[in-house]
Every structure is written in C-alpha cells, then in structure tokens.
A and B are shown apart, each in its own frame.
Chain A
C-alpha cells in the first residue's frame, strides 16, 4: 500500500478520515447518483396520490390518480391536435390536484378536482382558449367514473391503504352474507306460513274476510268458502317441537349483529351499534374475539339447523343430541370465514416486545386476523450502538416466523410497493386464515427523530430505495397458491429478481463534457447513504484522488479476500449541483451489505431461484399413462375388421366354465326372460350367472344367441346327460 493510497484504505478499514482531501458527505449534501432522476416527485407521475374508491362495483378499490387520468385520456383523447390539447389540459389538472394533495389539502377526488378546475380556469388556460379549456374539463369530468378519498404518501399511508382494502372486503362480505341470511329467513317463514295456511285458523271466516279486504266483502260468501276449504285440505300441522325449533332459529338469525341487514332497514342504527373490528393492539382483538365467540357459535348452529329444516333433512333422533353438544370446538375454518375479520394495525417502535407474544398467538391461531405490522425503521439504533448493523432484522423476523406457520398469508413490502401489489394485498385481506402485512413506511427512525433526520428524501423514495437495495425485499407467501409447496414464497414482486442487486442505466457527462452512460447497481450501501445516521460511514473523495483501485461496491462484494484487500469500495453520489462524486465506504457497512446479499439469496432460494446452480429444468408435461399410450398407439395402426366372436376377451376364471362379461351388459332382459333364476342382475343392473344349476345348457346357449352384445359365453355343459348336446355344442362354440 503506497503512501498516497493509505488515507482511502485507512478510512475503509477504520472509518477515520486522515490527511487532506476526504470530506464529509453530509456537509456537502451528497446523495446517491441514481436519485438524480427523482429529485422532485411533484413533477413526476407515479403511484401517488391514491384514490380510495368508495364503490368499486367489481373494479379495484384502490386506483392511483395517474391511472384514473390515463383511463380518462384513453377514453376521450382522440389522436390529432384536439386530442393533444385535451391531453395537455387534463394533465395540467392532474398536476394541480397532485400539488394540492402535497400541500395538505384533504377531501375526495371530486372535491380536489373542483378546486383544481377553478384554479386552472382562474389562470385562464391557453391564451384566448378558455372555451377549449372548458370543453376539456367538461369532457374529462364526464369520463370520470370513480370517486373516493384522495391520499398522498406519508407514514400513515400503509394503514390507510390496508384499512380501505379491508373495509371494502368487509362490505362485500356483509352484502353477500346478509342476502343469504335473508333468503334463509324467508324460506323458514314460508315453512311457518305454509303451516298456518293449512291450519283451522286460516280457514276461519274472519281470516278469509281479511285476505280479501273490505272493498269486495259483499261479493263473497265467506262461510261457504270456509266450509269448502276446511274439507278440501288435508290437515297436517307442523309438530309443535319443530315449530318451536324453527321459531327459535328465526329469532337467532334475525337478531344477529355481526353484519348490517342487506335491505338497509335500520342499517344506520345497526352500523352504529355494530361491534368494532379494528384494533391497535393484539390483546384487545383477541379479547373481542373470545367475547363474541359464543354468539358466533349460536349463529352458526342456527344457520345449520335452518339449512337442514329448509332441505327437510332435520332428524330429531340424530340431530337433537348433535346440536345439544355443539360448541366452539366444532367450528371449522369455513364457518369462521363467514364472519367479519379483525384488522390489527401495529406500529413498531412502541411496545413491540409486549406485542410479540400476542402476535404469535394471533398468527398461529388459524383465526381470521389481519395484521399490519408497520416498520418505521429497518435499521435499529440499538444494533448500531453495538457495532453491527441489523437492518430490517426485527421487522423481517416476524415475517420469517410467520412463514413457518401453517396457513398464514404473509406479504412483506415497502409502502412504495403497495399500489403495485394491490391485487396481492386484496388476496391477503380475503384470505380465510390469518394474514401478516409487514410494511416499511420509509421513515428513518421513530417520528420523534424526524426533525433530526431532515426529510430531504421523500418517504416514498426512501421506501422504494429499501426495496431496490434489497434491504427490505418484497416477498409474498400465499398458502393457497397453486405453486408447489417448496416454492410458495414469491419474490417476483422485486425489481430484477434474478439479480443480486438491481442495476439501472445512468447517464452523465464526463470530464470532457461528453455524454456517457453506465449501468450502476443500487446496493444496500446506497440505501444507507440516504440515512443521515450513516453519513460518517462514508467519505467523499476529491476527483484528483480517484484511483484505479477504487471499485464500485457491487463489484467489490464479488472479490475474493486477497484481491479485496487491495481495493477500496465506493458508490457514486451527486451534490445539489448535480456534480458527480465518489464516496468510499467503511468496512462495517460493506459487511452489512454482504449479509443483506446473503439474505436476499436465501429468499430467492425459497422461491426456487437458485443463484448458485443452473436454473431448475422447466417442469415437463406430464406424460400420459402408459396404458393409454399403448392404446393410443394401437389406435393408430390399421383397423382389422373382426366379428364380435373373434375379439380377445377377458379370460374366464376356469377354462370351459360359462361366464358373462357383466360390465358390458346392456340390461336388455333377453337372458333374464329365458331364466330369471339362472341369470340375475347385480347392483348395477347388469347380468351375471346367478345359479348355473337353475337352468339347462340349452338355455345358456339360447341366452348367448339372443344376447345382443354377445357377452354370454356358454362354456362346456356341466350336465353331460342333457339331451341334444350334439346340436347345442356347435352353436355354443360360436360364443366360446
């Protein structure tokens, strides 16, 4: 190591700056070079703001403003000048709505749309083209088919996102449940009504008068009508016990409070009194579930009895005792799936340890709890103090633990990925068992530290960086996935999942102001560089001191120990003037990056992406069963015309013994008409020889001759003294 290299190597190994030249990246405001394209999110069209759609009507309940605008433009913007003008107006409207949202304006899309329109009109639109602007706004408004609350990205977005998806799923479930429950109630009422209509009370003169009404009372002779009806109908009232059972079940069904009624009657009041299903901690959620369990059991029991009564299959001798002992032990997953699920929104950073035991209980219970575990810091300060970086460990720990539990849906992602993974989020919300959503908000530390960690980097970008750098990779575990058990974890939601690190094309001007570009990897080290807490792990290197032994971090990580000892890792950074810099990295951060890479590879292995060997051979199409192959091959050969008697049939048990190819019998009664004791039908109504001694050989031969599908084989006569055998034997031979 020469004297001129030692400051760089010294910093790399010790973290101490020595000599002139190296500078603090924090003081110069350096940030990762790949962030240059994302300096001002407000000028970019991306996933936020998001509209939480109120009535999805079969569509998605979560749509970004950009997607809504794109759909509007696709519908109304035709090619040509007019279409371009309209496009321009609508995109300006979108930018204004985005700006209003960023400035903290709240409301629905319709509200902010209105504000944005007013603003645009006030500025006059195109010079002298106010009419054109009006037309564009009118057309766009007419094409806007959705509305809902509009939310920008902040550290509360994961909760809002998941809560909305959950509440839409709940409403859908409530609607279906209530309709079906009402149908059940109606059918039970019909049973009781049918009973009452057959009763003596229904045929009473006064009852008949009431059915007709007062207008036409005088047109009917109700007494005669009552006499006739009383004699015409056969009385048959419901047994008292059954009647009481149905009434009891009806009252339980009508009194359920788990969902509001489908017809909306009293829905507001019912909704006000309906139990809560959203919690901030696991313990009250578990307690609420336990408290409601007896009512759930009672409702399931009532619905089951109702179903049996409607089908007319309730048997008191069997079912009375069954339902007498019925309790929560008999509840199945399918029964619980009918009821509302519980949403628990946990925020790491407060009482995480106290929650952990309850959380494990919730996830291993198999019950329909949906847990949002929001991570606000994936690099714990404690571990920083000890000298080791344990990025995302605690956050991922629970997710990894949940993977080992049977039947738990697990989704890990940063908040920036939520919109892209909305379908999977909705799958998790609709999953019948427990679900864990482990989400990184993008914050660097608890909220109280936000002042110190000045939010120069938007939260959305920080969250996205966590995914890009593999510090907080996306993975999804769906227990009901059709993938094989060994690879039910999917990392496909990550950018460039087959690679260790994501790489991006980066364009720049070199020292001679010539345009150039290079593929740059975005590693864990780049992610760490955006966190002020790590600023002292980097050292900026003046251009004059750039050396050949400086290598990018991703390449450095691939070097063997001997070679690495002579190299110094760096990342590319830019300052506020967009000037390119190199920052060398301290060794502990490199070690953390290495561990991050290992964890990512392990995760890919779970998905069946094995980086160390050739990729798995594609699954081969299942070959047809051998017998079918032989049959298919035989079918392709020339067909020889044969008579029925020449077909090689299944050999009989004993040569010479008469038999019938029973599976091929067509139940035509030919043989049974000849002798129904010798020939009988089995359980499939196909003939077999029941009692050979019950008839003669002649009858066997005649049956063989009359069998239309020639499946009776007379064999040899068992009674050699039977007359006319010499005539019968040649006739029988045709069928043997």
Chain B
C-alpha cells in the first residue's frame, strides 16, 4: 500500500534512469540482427517507464534471443532451453512486485517449450513475453525451427522442410484464457516500441511475436515486406496501438481493428499477405493466476516454520532410536 505522501516523498529523489542505466554488456549479435532493434525498444521502454533496475527481471531460455538478459542491466535469469516461462511464473508467484519479462525464440517457445507456452497463456500471469521469431535455430547454426517456411533447406532439412510452419499468433488466440496477443516486426521500430509498451501496460500475460531478421542464416527472408511498406498491414485502434501520422504516411495500409474482436483477430492473424502488425487481441478483464491464488492470510515466519515442521515430522528419524 502506498500512501499519497509516499509518492511525494519519492519524487524528492533525483533518481532518473537514462537509457544507459539499462545497458548491460555489449551485444554479441551479428551486424544487422533484428535482436538489436528489440533490445533498443525494450531499453527505451524501461527508460520511459523509469523502471527500477532492481525491480525488473528478464528471464530467457536458450538461443540468440536468449542472450538478452546479459545485455540488460537489470536482474536476469538465463535458463534452460524451453523453460523460460515456468521460471518466470515462479518468480512472479513469489515476487509479484517485480516487472517480469520473458525473452524467448521460435525454437525455445514453439518447439521444446510448447507445453509451457500453452499453459502460461492459460495461467495469464502478469508478465510480458517477447518471442523473437527468426524462423531458424541460429545459435546452433542453421537448423529448421517450427516457424521455418516450408521448403527451407537447413542442416537438418537438406531437402527442404516438409511441413507448414506453425503460426504462434493463431495458436495463442486459440487458448481461451489468452488476454493479450500481438505481432510486431523489428524493422518498424516505432510500432515495435509501442506494441511492447502496450504489452507491458496490459495486466496479464502479454504475448508478442516479433518477426525478427537473421542476416546470417535467413538473409532476405523478410525482404518482401521490408522493402514494400504496402505489404504491411498496421492495426490501428485506441485500445491497441495508435499509428502516428508520420508512420501512416509511410505505411499506408491501415485497418481499424478493435482488439476485443477475437474472431476478426483470428482472421487477421492467419495471413501474411499483407503482414499484420499491431495488437490483435486484448482482454483486460481476464483474471491473473497469481490473484486467484493469493493466500487469504499472510505467511508469517511463524506459519512458515510450523508448516515446515509439520512436513518434516512426517519423515523424522529419531537418532536415539
């Protein structure tokens, strides 16, 4: 509980965090990697929101994307492949006061981490998930991922992938409890920043799929959209993201899409021509799991001790016996 006067007291502190306060180590991504744009957008968000670095945590799995926590000067957890979400959920349950971000990739999230991803959507815990989708396993040097385009030749698919790629946005919209689903691209940094900002402000599980260029292993994959602004479809709405007039002059293909319209969101998400960018679905009324599980009493040290002792007593071995 914060008293109003506490807000005044805090304003007395001259603690402003410039963007550099959020910079961690020098990024080792390839030149031209879309991860850099995402990093820049997230650091801008942290600066604009003045997030306390000690109250912010980035949780990642394994992949190029998952180097992210090392490049942020906040708390971070670089976890196992596909396991970023359960770690983030544990952090959120125990420390609901922290700002929790999850950085994952297409392989980390849609392959090994699929089960966690599906149920994380169901839990709808308050965190922001950024899925860097470059359509390839880049860190391990060129293996096909679940979102690789059909026919892609890689080290594991020398004759080309046989299957249609999974559409993470469509899958997310199919989960009943999903409360925020958006799609962004790394080559429109303003929209990328605004979408991440909207995701951060949403109370619940915010899933943002970011189509991200990989110049090393997937060069030219997105050229069709990067070089042709009219092949992008920007979703504009007061409840989603507002497209500014300058942006609208470059990207003229706009649609007024109400994020509460789940059916229309599914239609929009199912196509890449044009490529939709914006907030597809948002439902602020969906309850968060950590609120549903909020205990009705405080866990004082006395209670914790008595519960632990009760459990340990079940396995007690009396040394005197």
Contacts and interface: CB of A to CB of B under 8 A. Distances in A.
Q: Do A and B come from one complex?
A: yes
Interface stretch (B123-131, B140-148, B247-255): B247-255
A264 B12 CA distance: 38
A632 B254 contact: yes
Interface stretch (A349-357, A447-455, A680-688): A680-688
Interface in B165-217: 186-190, 213, 215
Nearest to B19: A683
Contact of A184 (B1, B186, B227, B255): B1
Contacts of A709: 187, 226
Interface string A637-655: 0011111100111100000
Given A641-B230, A686-B189, A668 B44 contact: no
Contact of A308 (B4, B6, B248, B250): B6
Interface stretch (B28-36, B262-270, B276-284): B28-36
Nearest to B44: A684
A708 B190 contact: no
Given A338-B3, A640-B230, A650-B246, A635 B54 contact: no
Count chain A CB atoms within 10 A of each CB in B3, B18, B189, B227 and give the residue with the most: B3
Contacts, number: 154
B109 interface: no
B17 to A, nearest CB: 12
B187 A330 contact: no
A641 B34 CA distance: 24
Contacts of B308: none
Given A219-B319, A639-B252, A670 B32 contact: yes
Given A303-B1, A644-B227, A650-B246, A668 B6 contact: no
Count chain B CB atoms within 10 A of each CB in A189, A338, A708, A710 and give the residue with the most: A708
Contact of B254 (A313, A330, A635, A683): A635
Interface string A23-61: 000000000000000000000000000000000000000
B228 A322 contact: no
A649 B32 contact: no
Interface string A322-346: 1100100011111100100000000
A338 B8 CA distance: 17
A708 B187 contact: yes
Interface string B216-257: 000000000011111100001000000101101110111110
Contact of A304 (B6, B243, B300): B6
Contact of B36 (A189, A218, A304, A667): A667
A665 interface: yes
A91 B187 CA distance: 72
A304 B3 contact: yes
Given A304-B3, A642-B228, A315 B298 contact: no
Interface string A559-594: 000000000000000000000000000000000000
A628 interface: yes
A218 B318 CA distance: 11
A664 B298 contact: no
Interface in B14-44: 18-19, 31-34, 36-37, 39-40, 43-44
The number of chain A residues touching the other chain, given as a range, is 35 or more
A653 B107 CA distance: 45
B292 interface: no
B150 to A, nearest CB: 24
Interface in A155-172: none
Contacts of B274: 639
Contacts of B188: 664
Contacts of A308: 6, 9-10
A686 B39 CA distance: 11
Nearest to A181: B1
Contacts of A670: 31-32
Given A218-B319, A684-B40, A335 B252 contact: no
B253 to A, nearest CB: 6
Contacts of A628: 236, 243, 245, 248
A473 to B, nearest CB: 37
Contact of B13 (A190, A318, A668): A318
Contacts of A323: 9
A258 B81 CA distance: 53
Nearest to B223: A708
Contacts of B256: 632
Interface string A297-326: 000110110011000110100110011001
B268 to A, nearest CB: 14
Contacts of B18: 683
A511 interface: no
A663 B190 contact: yes
A182 interface: yes
A673 B10 contact: no
A315 B3 contact: no
Interface string A670-708: 100100000000011110000000000000000000101
A617 interface: no
A634 interface: yes
Nearest to B54: A312
Contacts of B1: 180, 183-184, 303, 307
A627 B37 contact: no
B306 interface: no
A607 B189 CA distance: 49
A393 B115 CA distance: 71
Contacts of A186: 298, 300
A180 B37 CA distance: 42
A639 B19 contact: no
A1 interface: no
A391 B222 CA distance: 79
B235 to A, nearest CB: 11
A179 B10 CA distance: 24
B215 A627 contact: no
B297 to A, nearest CB: 8
Given A666-B36, A667-B39, A708-B187, A627 B12 contact: no
A294 to B, nearest CB: 16
Contacts of B227: 643-644, 710
B74 to A, nearest CB: 15
Nearest to B8: A330
Contacts of A684: 19, 40, 44
Interface string B293-313: 000001011000000000000
B6 A665 contact: no
Given A186-B300, A669-B36, A664 B190 contact: yes
B70 to A, nearest CB: 17
A264 to B, nearest CB: 12
Count chain A CB atoms within 10 A of each CB in B4, B5, B37 and give the residue with the most: B5
A666 B34 contact: yes
Contacts of A643: 227-228
B12 A668 contact: no
A219 to B, nearest CB: 5
A22 to B, nearest CB: 68
A326 B3 CA distance: 14
B285 to A, nearest CB: 17
A627 B33 contact: no
Given A631-B248, A708-B213, A709-B187, A335 B40 contact: no
A121 interface: no
B252 A634 contact: yes
A163 B135 CA distance: 66
A663 B9 CA distance: 36
Given A639-B252, A664-B190, 19 more contacts: A301-B5, A304-B5, A322-B9, A332-B4, A332-B5, A335-B5, A628-B248, A635-B252, A643-B228, A644-B226, A663-B246, A666-B37, A667-B36, A668-B33, A683-B19, A684-B40, A685-B39, A708-B226, A709-B187
The 8 closest A-B pairs by CB, nearest first: A334-B4, A666-B37, A685-B40, A667-B40, A631-B248, A635-B254, A180-B1, A332-B4
14 contacts: A218-B319, A307-B3, A322-B9, A628-B245, A635-B254, A643-B227, A644-B229, A647-B250, A666-B34, A666-B40, A668-B31, A685-B43, A708-B187, A710-B227
